[in-house]
């Protein structure tokens, strides 16, 4: 037997085993205290990827189940609203059946119609009020909503939504305005440039019965004459014009008249108070009525539409400015349906460009359809500035970045939150092409971008060349007649330049107002603006500079509303109403069925996801969770070994005493 001084082999072995046992004890303690077998990546490197994926899957399923809950709530809210609409439709049908009796009096039918209209109005109220997280579900503003109900990217579920108001159900006519009020009519000599009977359309029919060829410049009572001309064809277009005039003075805190002035040629004597001035006007002036306003201004008005002429020595002392003020027109349909007024142009669906937006502007009107979308003429070539007097629904329009329709529409949209009016620009140029003498590669440019037409052999080549040039939102296409259309959906200016003396490829043009524009080396085409009210209300356009955005001043004395298109006025109308109501009930039923099917799918997905979630958690648990019985046994074993190893190590250390005795 050897006795070694530098290394005690038995002690080292005991220490090594003790360290291993202590490590196992620490590992078992960590697992038992955390409840997990895998507390760090090194505990099970082979399964760490699986663990990460399972954790991600379980988390995703949890969020998917939340989405499913939201989707189910949304579908239940929508179905609740549709259920109430169905109940109202059922009641309306009962009324229609009741109205199918020939024994009812006209008073009875009026009462039934009133009840029907009230229920239709309530249907519209329901569609506006049914919301989920501020999303209106039944008014047509959104067509579908999507939810991810699952942990995979293809787990989207779509719930289709439909506009369910009375108009969408074809039970009410389209919202519109029943009475339009023009801006001041414009002075124009129609004897030098006649206005054909068909150049302006009212409700799709000729506005006039005959060509207008009168001199309607200032002093000729233009509004009254236009009233007569329009009403001569009322039996055809179904609308009645009413001329009137009004003029409001500047407000005066105190009245100090230095001299007389005249209204319509009648002298107004000097007065010392605003009240006395109003009395003097009403006594001395024919053809107008004066009223004192709360701000100490005076309104002069008439119901004829005749011009109001202010003249004389000192009208400004009374707050008036000398001049001839032309009247206004009101336009309303005889049957109280909604008014539509527009020029006869191809853009408006007519065969020829007989009319022009400027013809409409002379009447003081903008182009307005039955859904109250108001469209301008061409915008001016001036950018808007803060000094321009332009108001939309009485809110001032600010400066624009350029003179284009796109920039002016953006300026209008800056006040949308105040006006509820949104503006959109557009521009369209129709071009006649001449391929007899093609330009060189650098002779033609659009908005400053050179476009090579040198090898063009037909309209298709021209379209391709323009669209490949990537000029903003400028696009080219062929129209139904085979002509070239160059457009900008934003309303950007379209500038066509053609240098050189050769025959122009662009031989003729028609602008966005359907007006023919002569060929030139450089032609700038301005766009138009369309205004839409978010609630379908009429749009008031006012100010001295509204022509800068292509509009005439306009207002309205009526608020748009949905009118009933089902009538209880006779048995035949009531019978027809039943057919319309049945169709509406079927439409609502189909919509509810679609939503109900989506709700059932949601339930199935919830069940499936719940099962997958449970299975995934079990699988993760088998990998990650500690086996408490086994780990407790390991801990006990390790603790016993620790105690034994510690005891033996103490004995091994005692053997060093033998070595010390040998040294002695």
* Token code pair at residue 520: 């030139």
**Residue whose pair of structure tokens reads 């003075």 in the numeric block:** 249
* Token code pair at residue 601: 């799918």
Residues 588-601 pLDDT 10s: 999 999 999 999 99
Residues 444-453 pLDDT 10s: 899 999 998 8
Residues 258-270 pLDDT 10s: 999 999 999 999 9
* Token code pair at residue 123: 């249907």
Q: How far apart are CA 133 and CA 74, in angstroms?
A: 9
pLDDT at 309: 95
Task: State percent of the chain over pLDDT 90.
Answer: 39
**Which has the minimum average pLDDT: 77-81, 299-303, 592-596, 619-623?**
619-623
Distance, first Cα to last Cα, the chain: 19
pLDDT at 485: 92
pLDDT at 178 over 70: no
Q: How far apart are CA 205 and CA 270, in angstroms?
A: 51
Q: What average pLDDT does range 237-250 have in this prediction?
A: 92
539-553 burial string, b = 16+ CB within 10 Å, else e? bbbbbebbbbbbbbb
pLDDT at 317: 94
Residues 519-566 pLDDT 10s: 888 899 999 998 888 766 667 888 888 889 988 777 654 444 445 567
**Residue whose pair of structure tokens reads 């009118």 in the numeric block:** 563
* Token code pair at residue 334: 């005889």
Residue 439: other Cβ atoms inside 10 A? 20
* Token code pair at residue 43: 């505990």
Instruction: Please say whether the beta carbons of 73 and 602 come within 8 A.
Output: no
pLDDT at 163 over 90: no
E runs forming strands in 100-226: 131-132, 135-136, 144-148, 156-160, 179-182, 188-189, 200-202, 205-206, 215-216
Q: What average pLDDT does range 132-138 have in this prediction?
A: 87
Q: How far apart are CA 609 and CA 613, in angstroms?
A: 6
pLDDT at 506: 82
Q: Is the pTM of this model over 0.75?
A: no
CA dihedral 14, 18, 20, 25 (to 10 degrees): 160
pLDDT at 284: 94
pLDDT at 536: 65
Cβ neighbours for 557, distance < 8 A, ≥ 6 positions apart? 179, 181, 330
pLDDT at 475 over 90: yes
Q: What is the mean pLDDT of the chain?
A: 84
**Which has the minimum average pLDDT: 9-13, 58-62, 359-363, 525-529?**
9-13
- At residue 516, the 3 state secondary structure works out as strand
pLDDT range class, residue 321, cuts 50, 70, 90: very high
């Amino acid at each position: 037997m050897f006795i070694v001084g530098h290394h005690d082999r038995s002690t080292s072995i005991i220490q090594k085993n003790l360290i291993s046992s202590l490590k196992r004890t620490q590992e078992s303690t960590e697992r038992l205290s955390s409840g997990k077998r895998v507390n760090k990546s090194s505990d099970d490197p082979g399964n760490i990827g699986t663990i990460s994926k399972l954790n991600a899957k379980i988390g995703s399923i949890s969020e998917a189940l939340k989405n499913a809950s939201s989707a189910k709530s949304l579908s239940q809210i929508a179905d609740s609203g549709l259920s109430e609409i169905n109940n109202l439709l059922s009641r309306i049908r009962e009324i229609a059946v009741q109205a199918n009796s020939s024994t009812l009096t006209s008073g009875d039918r009026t009462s039934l119609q009133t009840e029907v209209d009230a229920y239709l109005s309530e249907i519209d109220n329901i569609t506006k009020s049914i919301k989920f997280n501020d999303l209106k579900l039944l008014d047509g503003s959104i067509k579908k909503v999507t939810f991810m109900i699952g942990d995979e990217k293809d787990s989207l579920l779509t719930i289709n939504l439909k506009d369910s108001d009375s108009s969408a159900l074809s039970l009410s006519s389209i919202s519109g305005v029943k009475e339009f009020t023009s801006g001041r009519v414009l002075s124009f000599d129609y004897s030098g440039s006649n206005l054909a009977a068909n150049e302006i359309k009212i409700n799709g029919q000729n506005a006039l019965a005959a060509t207008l060829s009168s001199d309607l410049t200032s002093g000729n009572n233009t509004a009254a004459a236009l009233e007569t001309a329009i009403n001569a064809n009322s039996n055809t277009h179904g609308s009645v014009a009413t001329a009137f005039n009004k003029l409001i003075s500047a407000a005066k805190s105190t009245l100090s008249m230095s001299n007389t002035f005249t209204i319509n040629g009648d002298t107004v004597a000097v007065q010392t108070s605003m009240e006395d001035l109003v009395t003097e006007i009403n006594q001395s002036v024919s053809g107008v009525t004066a009223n004192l306003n709360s701000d100490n201004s005076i309104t002069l008005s008439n119901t004829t539409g005749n011009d109001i002429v202010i003249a004389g020595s000192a009208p400004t002392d009374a707050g008036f400015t000398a001049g001839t003020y032309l009247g206004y027109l009101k336009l309303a349909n005889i049957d109280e349906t909604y008014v539509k007024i527009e020029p006869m142009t191809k853009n408006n669906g007519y065969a020829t460009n007989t009319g022009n937006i400027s013809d409409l502007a002379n009447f003081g009107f903008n182009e307005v359809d039955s859904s109250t979308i108001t469209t301008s003429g061409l915008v001016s070539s001036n950018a808007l500035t803060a000094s321009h007097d332009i108001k939309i629904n009485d809110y001032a329009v600010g400066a624009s970045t350029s003179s284009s329709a796109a920039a002016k529409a953006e300026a209008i949209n800056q006040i949308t939150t105040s006006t509820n009016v949104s503006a959109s620009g557009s521009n369209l140029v129709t071009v006649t092409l001449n391929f007899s003498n093609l330009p060189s590669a650098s002779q033609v440019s659009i908005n400053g971008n050179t476009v090579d037409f040198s090898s063009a052999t037909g309209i298709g080549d021209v379209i391709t060349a323009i669209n490949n040039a990537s000029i903003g939102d400028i696009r080219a296409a062929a129209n139904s007649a085979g002509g070239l259309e160059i457009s900008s959906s934003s309303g950007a200016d379209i500038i066509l330049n053609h240098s050189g003396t050769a025959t122009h490829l662009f031989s003729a043009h028609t602008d966005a107002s359907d007006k023919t524009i002569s060929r030139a080396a450089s032609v700038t085409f301005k766009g138009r603006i369309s205004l839409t009210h978010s609630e379908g209300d009429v749009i008031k356009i006012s100010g001295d500079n509204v022509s800068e955005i292509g509009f005439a001043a306009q207002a309205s004395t009526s608020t748009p509303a949905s009118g009933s298109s089902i009538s209880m006025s006779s048995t035949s109308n009531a019978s027809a109403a039943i057919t319309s109501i049945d169709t509406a009930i079927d439409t609502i039923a189909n919509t509810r069925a679609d939503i109900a099917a989506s709700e059932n799918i949601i339930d199935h997905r919830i069940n499936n996801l719940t099962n997958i979630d449970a299975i995934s958690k079990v699988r993760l648990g088998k990998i990650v969770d500690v086996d408490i019985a086994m780990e407790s046994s390991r801990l006990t074993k390790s603790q016993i070994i620790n105690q034994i190893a510690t005891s033996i190590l103490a004995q091994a250390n005692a053997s060093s005493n033998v070595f010390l005795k040998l040294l002695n």
